[in-house]
Chains A and B, each alone.
Chain A
Amino acid sequence: MGMTITEKIMAKSSGKKRVEPGESIWLNVDVLMTHDVCGPPTIEIWKREFGDKAKIWDKDKLVIFPDHYIFTKNPQANRNVNILREFASEYNVPNYYDVGTDRYKGVCHIALAEEGYNLPGTVLFGTDSHTCTSGAFGMFSTGVGNTDAAFILGTGKIWEKVPESLKFIFEGNMPEYLTAKDLILMILGDITTDGGTYKALEFDGEAIFSMQMDERMTLTNMAIEAGAMNGIIKADEITEKYVRERTDKPYEIFESDPDAKYRETYRYQVNKIEPLVAKPHSPDNRDTVRNVAGRKLTKCYIGSCTGGKLTDFYNAAKIIFGNEVKVPTFVVPGSTYVARQLEVETINGITLKEIFEKAGCVVAQSSCAACLGGPVDTVGRATDGEVVISTTNRNFPGRMGSKKSEVYLASPLTVAASAITGFITDPREFL
């Protein structure tokens, strides 16, 4: 019996020839990533448990991106960034990307890709559930809590149960009105928020391999919304080109064997999928945009690790171009690189940033911002009674700041179309 790509990477990382789903193994971690919300408690646990012997297992493999609560006056949030800063200085952590300096990058999952930490065949753990995003690079990546991260910080190892795999094959060419966000909302509607629990989601098919990395990352990013351990896409020439433009570190490409075993295989024809939303209050509460069109909105939001990449803004700008938004619309670049590119990339000679600003959008600084609500002074945060449509990843009660608000999740195309009408709107009306 053959192995899946996830099983092959886990076997290599645990020093075994083969592994079986359900087997508990110890993995050697290639990169540990943390941020300002979970980094400080991780460091505290590491100091408490290892005491005087506390030693970072490999400084080059620790990456710290402050990104969650950055532009806030909240004193405890600022204290957390200070804890990271002092830790990085005391232990000479080379890969610390401090706020308020040229090194500040923005949202960790996007920055991991941009800074060349995502390498095919490697194993990455992070103190954030969306760490699964990196799986777009043909690697194993998953989220853990502070205790597990503290264990990795001291030992470089962690136990994990080998997941069963589910395969999702998308056939055909992506129509202009469809994005990776619609595809993952399709999957979530089919398998629900626990359909992937303790499983690997493997994406395949010509529609996937025609996508650039930004779009592939949207798919793997929301694997956690199905409860999955990881999402994964085999590395190809597009992956290798992206990686080689950023790093010369070694990597190894794995692919699933033809006779690898899947718990289930799902097939989709992309030209049969319509623009989709997840209605309040769950990412699996799928419906077509057509069915909810006309719902009056109070706010639109384009940002986060899911929907704040350059391709997301390019897609939104295509529709917003030459129009004015009818409701407050927030444009929050996922990284400082994306923010800079908004001033470089153009449509008909006009930069994306100008397109958004002329339309009346608020263009904010890069961070996780209102995707997860955050401190009360967070830009774009939802308040009581609001109806929001957003390119982000979760719409559980209160996720964007108020449990008395309603959040619809959708693609950047759908959010842009909705911003210029003030009602949930099918992007096909503008394409």
Chain B
Amino acid sequence: MEKIIKGRAFVLGDNIDTDQIIPAEHLVYSLSDPEEAKNYGRFALSGVPLNQSGLPKGGIPFVEENQYLTKYQIIIGGSNFGCGSSREHAPFALQVAGAKAIVAESYARIFYRNCVDGGFVVPYETLEKLNDKIETGDQLELDLNENILRNLSKNETYKLRPLGDILPIIEAGNIFEYARQNNMI
């Protein structure tokens, strides 16, 4: 796994629920057929009301119309990121769009498990509110060795909560790899 994740920030507010991450009408596409699964990237975060998409300015779609990949690799969220349904299509959509990590104050339980156990994106928790400090488009560097996020555009560094119990699963890749490495399956 990458220990340093570099990329641009995409900033969102609190309580980004799974219907905003991937609206329910899109849950029909295959997740295993790579060509069809690209649609999850196309519609990732398309349910976020546009004025709250890409803060602080807003009005910035995560993925441009008729595109499949995002320009933003690190999502900055507020509290309760991923609340709502259990759809694993949500973290999958973010991964397919090209996101590598989320840095948010807190997560809903099922979404958090899905990120980790499915190995889609790395979910970091912040120690302070960051979605009012970082701006969409800021150049970031997420350091998994040091548990810090560097904002190269603003020349700031933020401490993050260590991944703790879930780090071995993230390092293994997903829950199945972890279970195989530990002779559980």
Residues of A within 8 A of B (CB): 24, 37-38, 40-41, 44, 48-50, 68-69, 74, 76-77, 79-80, 126-129, 131, 143-148, 151, 154-155, 193-194, 197-198, 227, 229, 282, 372-376, 394, 396-399, 401, 403
Contact = CB atoms under 8 A, between A and B. Distances in A.
B25 A375 contact: yes
Interface in B20-66: 20, 23-25, 27-32, 47-49
Contacts of B17: 394, 396, 399
Contact of B84 (A129, A145, A151): A129
In order of increasing CB-CB distance, the 8 nearest A-B pairs are A145-B88, A76-B28, A145-B114, A194-B80, A147-B118, A143-B86, A146-B88, A129-B86
Contact of A193 (B23, B30, B80, B107): B80
Interface of B: 15, 17, 19-20, 23-25, 27-32, 47-49, 79-80, 83-89, 106-110, 113-114, 117-118, 165, 174-176, 179, 184-185
B185 A145 contact: no
A129 B20 contact: no
Contacts of B24: 372-374, 399
A44 B20 contact: no
A197 B19 contact: no
Contact of B31 (A41, A227, A229, A282): A41
B47 A147 contact: no
A374 B27 CA distance: 8
B64 to A, nearest CB: 18
B151 to A, nearest CB: 26
A398 B25 CA distance: 10
Contacts of B117: 145, 147-148, 151
Given A50-B185, A143-B86, A194-B108, 6 more contacts: A37-B87, A48-B32, A127-B86, A194-B83, A227-B109, A229-B109
8 contacts: A38-B86, A41-B88, A50-B185, A128-B85, A145-B87, A148-B175, A396-B83, A397-B19
Where chain B touches its partner, the secondary structure class is loop
Contacts of B47: 397-398, 403
A24 B165 contact: yes
A38 B28 contact: no
Contacts of B30: 40, 76
B180 to A, nearest CB: 9
B95 to A, nearest CB: 12
A374 B25 contact: yes
Contact of A394 (B48, B84, B175, B184): B84
B32 A38 contact: no
Contacts of A38: 86-88
A193 B83 contact: yes
A193 to B, nearest CB: 6
Contacts of A227: 80, 83, 108-109
Nearest to B110: A143
A398 B19 contact: yes
A31 to B, nearest CB: 16
A99 to B, nearest CB: 15
A18 B79 CA distance: 32
Contacts of B25: 373-376, 401
A144 B86 contact: yes
A135 to B, nearest CB: 15
B86 to A, nearest CB: 4
Contacts of B48: 397
B28 A128 contact: no
A38 B110 CA distance: 14
B28 A148 contact: no
Contacts of B110: 129, 143-145
